Structures are given as C-alpha cells and as structure tokens.
Amino acid sequence: MKLDVDVLRYLSKDDFRVLTAVEMGMRNHEIVPSELVDRIARLRHGGTYKVLKNLLKHKLLHHDSSKYDGFRLTYLGYDFLAIKTLVNRGVFTAVGRQIGVGKESDIFEVAKEDGTILAMKLHRLGRISFRAVKSKRDYLVHRSSYNWLYLSRLAALKEYAFMKALEEHGFPVPSAVDCNRHCVIMSLVQGYPLVQVKQLQNPDMVFEIIIGLIVRLAEHGLIHCDFNEFNLMIDDNENVTMIDFPQMVSVSHRNAQMYFDRDVDCVFKFFSKRFNLSFEEITDECDESDSDMNENGRPCFSSIAKSAGSLDKELSASGFTRKDQDDIEKFTECVSEKDSDGTENSDGGSFPDDCGANSSNLESLHLVDLEELSMMGGNKEDNMEENRHSSEVVECNGPETSEADEKVDDQDLNESDDELMKRLNKQRRRAIAAAHGGRRALASRNSYKDKGGKTSHNSKIQKQLSGW
C-alpha cells in the first residue's frame, strides 16, 4: 500500500482519536465492534460513525461484517499513528521519497527541522513474499494468536534494541534515533548496497572486514542470520555498514552453527562470483581472528569463544532463554562459593559442594532409586535404616545375630511381596471392571420409575396388598 502522507493534512484530532480507539480495541479483538469504538473514543454527539466513514474513505480502516459489524486498522492507518506520534515528539517534520523496499519493510527518507536527513523503516510483516513468520521468526514466543500489526511492532522493537546495543559496542551500524509502534528512525547511511557494486579497489580487504564482522558478532554472542550482500552497505571509501537486525539470534541457539555457516557461505559465494576471489590461496592474515580460521580462511564456529561480552544475554536474543541465565547465575554462585570456602577434593583440585549440573544428576539418580524401590514394594529410607541397623548388629553381636536378622528380613520381604501382590490384583480387577463397563451407572431423574410407568413406592404398596 502506497504511503500518501498528504492525507495527514486533512485529518483532525477526532480522526486520530478514533484511530487510537480502534488500535486499543484490537488488543483483544480481531475485529473491533462499532459500539466498542464509540465507547473508547467518547466523541460528542455521536460523531464516531461520521469519523469512521471518513477514515474508510482514506483506507485507514477496513470494515468487516462477516461475523459482526466491526473495523480493524490497516497498515496505512498504523503508519499514520506512528508518524503522528514521532512528529509530535519532534523527531522529524517531513517525509520524503521511498528509498528501499524489502520483503518485510519499507524505507523512506525523513527530514528534521534543521534539514538533517534520516531514514524511516516501516515494518510490514504479512506480505505475500514473507508470511512464514511463525516458523522463521520467534516474535510470538509462547503466544498462539497474533495479527500482523502486532508482529511488526515486535520486529521494530527488537531491531531498535539490537541497533542501539551494537552501536554502543562500536559496530558499524546506523545510529538508532527513535522507535514507535512498527516504525524505526535511524541515521541515513551514505553508501550503496553491496549487491549493486560491480567493482572494488580492494576486494580482499573488504572481504576480510566483512568476515571479521561475523566473527566479532559471534564473540559478542550474536549471529546475524541474514548476513549477505543485500544487508551490507558500502560507501566510496569502501567502509562497510551492517543493516537489518530483527532476525538475530544467540550463539546458544540450537541452530546457531547452521546460521553462522550460512552467513559465511553467503559472503564467500558472493565474493567468488562477483570479484573472482580464489579462497584456496588466502592465508590467515586477519588481525584478530587468526585462531578462528581454518586452512582456507573460513571461520570455524566451534573455535570462537564469547570473550568480548554477552549481548545475547543483555538483549534476550533468540536461543538465550531464562533457563540459560539461571544456569549461568548458579554457576557463578558455585564459583564464588568455591573461592570463599576453598574446598578441595581427594585429587587436590577445588570444587564447590553444590552445583547446578551435579545437583540435577543427583536428583535424577535419586528418583531412579525411588522408582526401583517402589517396584519392589519397599521404601528407600526404610531399607537404608534396615541396612544400617543390620550392619551395626553384625559389628556388635557377631555372625549368629546376623543370621537371625537375615531370617527376619526374609520374612519382612515375603510379607511385603504378599502385600504388593494383593494391591496389584486389586488394581487389575478394577481395570478389568472398568474395561467391561462394570462401573455403576449414575442414577437419573427418571430412575425411580419402573417399566410399567408406576413409581417404585406404588409397586411396593401393590405387592403388600396382594400378599394380604
């Protein structure tokens, strides 16, 4: 849908009030009823329906009467709400031409009051070219129901957070300015997409810079997942800038190695086809990633260590769950206890008494022991007490008393086996009765009537009279 900002001049406060009312109603309604829009907007003299008609004319709302009479926001109406909010904040004052179209976003030029040109990215998930959002993105997390406007808002918030954090850590990314709804305002990159570049003065140097960015991201705990020539900008001085970050994941993601290798393969294939680079002759000349390269100069995911930071933890990137954070906190607590207590094992090494992994293993073993003992019909604590008691008796009284205790134990085991067999037979009889429909039927309200249509009380009286 084409963004025509000239319509903004002719929209009044009541129009934006009704648009906001529809947006609020879409939090828990797929189609917002007309009565609910009227109650939320609270316009005087019932002017809501007149405003709705005006918004429908400009295609800011969509009317749906399939199930009931209601309205929902379109992407154009959502755009107007975001632009109006950012203009009121003073972020920009004018919207210019469209400079980019992606499978899930549109990019426009915007101008500030002092003439500075910025870039406005409007996320538009749900297009025909990209609708597999639920399987390819993790915006929903645990949610089952969604709409495209809400998913676009989540994508914008995620990209703004990643862009802000990467900028603070010195990565070549656009400067994040502001974010509202599905709209992200960033600095305009003075360059061209790498896919449009046909010739480079130093392709080897540019290639090493791009591969170094992939490795550096992994050292910070992040993987781009869409690192290709379409999301790399290069200027006249051959400076590289990364863009497009909503799909970034953590190195702890279950498919992290696959995403990392895919990003590396995209760069290798592009430079081999476009600039005719032969990577068999490339030596390990990278500045900071000598240990992360193999013989052909290809980075190895398994050899990259998270030594520069944990941006995936700070930003809660996909793949870095709350469970991972809890495990890290447990591990740090164990290490701190180890440093404070200084407990040592028999081999001379120091280790903490309680650790997350060891405790989980011990708990699993404990549960297995309980299950085995329950199958034998006994209890773990009782058996431990009996074993301890028998060992003490053997030490005190000698072999004669131990033989007597063994007889007593055999009798107890036989009694427990008999009790176990009784319980099993009882459960088996219940199962057979339930399978054959042996359960008693619930008494209905007509159960007091017999086949003759007379009540049971009357039939008893008749029997008594006939007996007399």
What is residue 342's predicted lDDT score, i.e. its pLDDT?
Answer: 47
Residue 127 has pLDDT above 90, yes or no: no
Q: What is the DSSP letter of 449?
A: B
Q: How many CB atoms lie within 10 A of CB 234?
A: 21
Do 291 and 228 reside in the same domain of the chain? yes
The continuous run of DSSP H or E covering 222 comes out as strand 222-223
Q: What is the CATH number of the domain that holds 49?
A: 1.10.10.10
Gyration radius of the chain over CA positions = 36
CA distances from 260 to 246, 249, 265 (A): 16, 10, 9
What is residue 275's predicted lDDT score, i.e. its pLDDT?
Answer: 92
In a domain, 374, yes or no: no
Do 161 and 109 reside in the same domain of the chain? yes
pLDDT band at 140 (very low <50, low <70, confident <90, very high): low
Domain boundary among 188, 222, 251: 188
Cα 269 versus chain centre, distance: 31
Do 184 and 223 reside in the same domain of the chain? no
Q: What is the CATH number of the domain that holds 126?
A: 3.30.200.20
Packing angle of the helix pair 75-89, 13-25 (nearest 10 deg): 120
What is residue 362's predicted lDDT score, i.e. its pLDDT?
Answer: 33
Model confidence, pTM = 0.63
What is residue 294's predicted lDDT score, i.e. its pLDDT?
Answer: 57
Q: By residue range, what is the domain housing residue 347?
A: 322-369
233-280 pLDDT, tens digit each: 999 999 999 999 888 888 888 888 999 999 999 999 999 999 988 876
In a domain, 273, yes or no: yes
290-302 pLDDT, tens digit each: 445 554 568 888 8
Burial of 127: CB neighbours in 10 Å, binned 0-12, 13-18, 19+: middle
**Range name among 133-142, 153-162, 165-174 with the lowest pLDDT average:** 133-142
Distance CA 449, CA 456 (A): 6
Do 260 and 296 reside in the same domain of the chain? yes
**Range name among 117-121, 340-344, 432-436 with the lowest pLDDT average:** 340-344
Do 184 and 196 reside in the same domain of the chain? no
Instruction: Cite the active site residues.
Output: 226
In a domain, 451, yes or no: no
Burial of 5: CB neighbours in 10 Å, binned 0-12, 13-18, 19+: middle
pLDDT band at 397 (very low <50, low <70, confident <90, very high): very low
What is residue 84's predicted lDDT score, i.e. its pLDDT?
Answer: 95
**Average confidence (pLDDT) over 100-115:** 91
Q: What is the mean pLDDT of the chain?
A: 75
In a domain, 468, yes or no: no
Q: How many CB atoms lie within 10 A of CB 183?
A: 25
Do 153 and 82 reside in the same domain of the chain? no
In a domain, 432, yes or no: no
pLDDT band at 371 (very low <50, low <70, confident <90, very high): very low
Domain boundary among 89, 114, 141: 89
The 3-state DSSP class for residue 252 equals coil
In a domain, 445, yes or no: no
